[in-house]
Amino acid sequence: MFEALRETIYAEVATLISQNESRPHFLIEVFRELQQLNSDYLRQRGLYAIQDLLAKYLREEGEEQQGEGRAPGDMRETGSAKPVVSVNIQLMALLQVDIRRLGRA
């Protein structure tokens, strides 16, 4: 299975690294935290946590943009868009809390 998806996996990882080259500490922390997801249960919970965080962010961003008369996802005409670093920090905090909580369960 991995062999069939090898190129896609490496391309996705390369994209993540490329998008965060200016945030090396974030990358190190992300990869270290992901290594702690050592069971299918933890991996699935981690994935759900990331998806929930992004859905909440997009929902909040959409509400802000609708109030400004823009379509959700359109960040071109405003300086009020939340920076990627903010989302990265929230994501890491969420993952760390979820991993710690699951470790105690």
Three-state secondary-structure class, residue 92: helix
pLDDT of res. 88: 63
Q: Give the Cα separation of 80 and 34 in Å (integer).
A: 30
Three-state secondary-structure class, residue 69: coil
Kindly report, residue by residue over 40-83, the tens digit of the pLDDT.
999 999 999 999 998 888 888 887 777 766 655 554 544 444 55
Q: Give the Cα separation of 59 and 3 in Å (integer).
A: 36
pLDDT higher than 80, residue 31: yes
Q: Give the Cα separation of 68 and 32 in Å (integer).
A: 39
Q: Where are the domains of the chain?
A: 23-104
Nearest to 85 by CA among 35, 42, 22, 38: 22
pTM: 0.57
